[in-house]
Amino acid sequence: MAYLFGLLIERFREKDKISKLLLTLSASGSLAMLGYFKYGDFLIGNFNEMTGLSVPLLRMALPIGISFYTFQILSYTVDIYRGKVAAQRNLIDFAAYVAFFPQLIAGPIVRYSDVANQLKSRTHSLEGGALGVRRFILGLGKKVLIADLLGELCSIFRESDDKSVLFFWLYAVAYSLHIYFDFSGYSDMAIGLGKIFGFRFPENFHYPYISASIREFWQRWHMSLGSWFRDYVYIPLGGNRVSVPRHLWNLLVVWMLTGFWHGAAWNFLAWGLYFAFLLIIEKLWLRRKQNRKGEWGKNRNGERIGNWKGSQIGRHVYVILMLIISFVIFDAASVGQALSYMRAMFGAGGYSLISEEFLYYFRSYGGVLVVAVIGATPLPKKIWSRMRTTSAGGNLSVFAEPLAISAILIACTAYLVDASYHPFLYFRF
């Protein structure tokens, strides 16, 4: 349907009322399908709770990756309406855009404008294929050797009968790293597969845990989703070029939708509103640093003053703490469980500070936690890049890089043969 609507919207683009009606019908159809499969049972379940009725649930199987390709279709039709791209007339090429398997299941969200030319003409080379294989294996390593091990630790915590305050914190830190390496690992694999086939997909992560503000975090985390909501929801609502109350309302709407996009449960909605609250606090705080003309002041070096007071370390600690709490909300089975976990983390749950299981599993998984923390920063890449600039390091890297990539692949293969099935977290979104 989106293929036909794209052609019709382009055909009647000069007739604003008709093209707008066609766009509305196309978007409504896409969102209706998403709502039926993903949110139908959620709405029916809550309706039953509110009314005391027993309306049967739909119990529909959720199509894999429906949230991702629905957003790709929406961006396609909207961009045609805006005149940014021409409608695709080749049905096969359009189907390839929507259902291209490397990024179909869990992103990144690719816009038609990103790959329109590549669908017709791509450059294939041995170098590009090698880079794609390298990127794919690195992503596989992040998923299998780091994310899956951290996921095991999180599962152990959930089943434990010997919880403690520090065990709650160990779980929260492990899950925050688990979801990052799981999702960014998949994105690396998708981008690598795309390179092998001659496609260039947008980056989806850029070391989000080094951020000094929540706003910066969302400029580095799941970047394709953040830019999608910015361009197709936030800016059309007026963005920040409106009154302060309307601006705050726009933020609430965007983050409510962002949370709900991730899943049909109240904890996801709470997760989105949690980030809305943090971003609103940051924006109101930053507004106090503007002068009466609404312009940013400057320091003695002529640099714009637009960030918080306090040390850089203090800002990073604040961001990491807020993110750890956010992922406790994200992973919880309910809002009540999230609140219970947070109370326990801050000593209000009646748990002891430390337990035998915490000590055992902290020792057992301490190594992978250290690797994950370091790997979530640019430090390994900087060390590798600096080493390659030296003559000795450059010569060594010629042999070291393929050996390291091969070792990662062998380790992943051995682990996958021996381990149970661990699906990607974002498959269910």
The CA-atom distances, in angstroms, between 113 and each of 20, 85, 86, 118, 226 are 20, 6, 9, 10, 17
* Continuous H helices in 197-243: 214-220, 223-229
Residue 128, phi then psi, degrees to nearest 5? -65, -40
Q: For residues 143 and 105, what is the distance between their CA atoms, to the nearest angstrom? A: 15
CA 372, 376, 379, 381 dihedral sign is positive
Q: Return the H-helix or E-strand segment holding 176.
A: helix 165-196
Q: For residues 373 and 376, what is the distance between their CA atoms, to the nearest angstrom? A: 5
Strand partners, 295: none
Whether residue 247 lies in the annotated active site? no
The tokens for 336 are: 């009540």
Strand partners, 298: 304
Q: For residues 15 and 73, what is the distance between their CA atoms, to the nearest angstrom? A: 22
Set 124, 206, 262, 316: catalytic member? 262
Which residues, 6 or more positions from 192, have their beta carbon under 8 angstroms from its beta carbon?
131, 132, 133, 134, 135, 136, 137, 138, 139
221: left (phi over 0), alpha (psi -120 to 50) or beta: beta
Q: For residues 405 and 188, what is the distance between their CA atoms, to the nearest angstrom? A: 14
Taking alpha carbons only, the member of 1, 3, 21, 4 closest to residue 13 is 21
CA 38, 41, 43, 49 dihedral sign is negative
- Among all residues, which ones are annotated catalytic? 262
